[in-house]
Structure 1
């Protein structure tokens, strides 16, 4: 009869490895979700600041809205990727660094629009 001593140790080590891998993957997903939320919040605040500047209600009336957007994006840990002014509307895109775990090396980009309410379709 063969000796089965130690077989449970190998199984326990394999299960611990699987749990460690699942935990690391869940950590990466959680970090990506947090970074995406941070990117969207930065985009929203950046667009609002640019629109306020465009309307002359911000801290710097008459200032170029995109210049205001750069400062707000920087203050929120983001980089302004694009800023487009169309009439009284401002559209921005910002980039925030993504998590650098388990091969994830992409930055996250979020977009936002601020300005007058869009008319509702009939």
Structure 2
């Protein structure tokens, strides 16, 4: 039994492999951007949490809470974009530069609040 190939189908597998490779590359790049955004958002949240805790600690000692929060946010790769005091609570907003892949230009931000524990009721 002999098999004959038609001339019109020659190279069709190559085109299919190249097309599927391009789709996989595009999907992989998109997933890479999403993963980088998740990591940077977690970094922003960690910086905000630590900055709020540092600010609350400094406020408890009678110092400048926002200056302490800003210093801690900067040491953790963020920039303090907001700091307010509500009674004995410190509210901070921190921004971290996001990934710059595939035209993505947004920065990621996070907020945190810290203060003394409320007494149980």
Gaps of 5+ in 2: 1-5
Q: Which has the larger radius of gyration?
A: 2
TM-score by length of 1: 0.89
Q: Tell me, yes or no, if structure 1 residue 45 matches structure 2 residue 50.
A: yes
Please state whether the residue corresponding to 2:103 is helix, strand or coil: coil
**Aligned equivalents of 2:119, 2:106: Cα separation in 1:** 36
Distance 1:34 1:50, change over 3 A: same
List per-residue Cα deviations over 1:62-106 (Å, max 9, x = no partner): 321001111101100100000001111000000000000111110
**Aligned equivalents of 2:118, 2:9: Cα separation in 1:** 72
Q: In the alignment, what sits opposite 2:81?
A: 81
Matches within 5 A, 1:1-80: 2-56=7-61, 62-80=62-80
- Once superposed, what is the RMSD of the aligned Cα atoms? 1.6
TM-score by length of 2: 0.90
**Aligned equivalents of 1:4, 1:34: Cα separation in 2:** 46
Please state whether the residue corresponding to 2:9 is helix, strand or coil: coil
Q: 1:4: how far off?
A: 1.3
List per-residue Cα deviations over 1:13-54 (Å, max 9, x = no partner): 000000000100110010000000000000000000000000
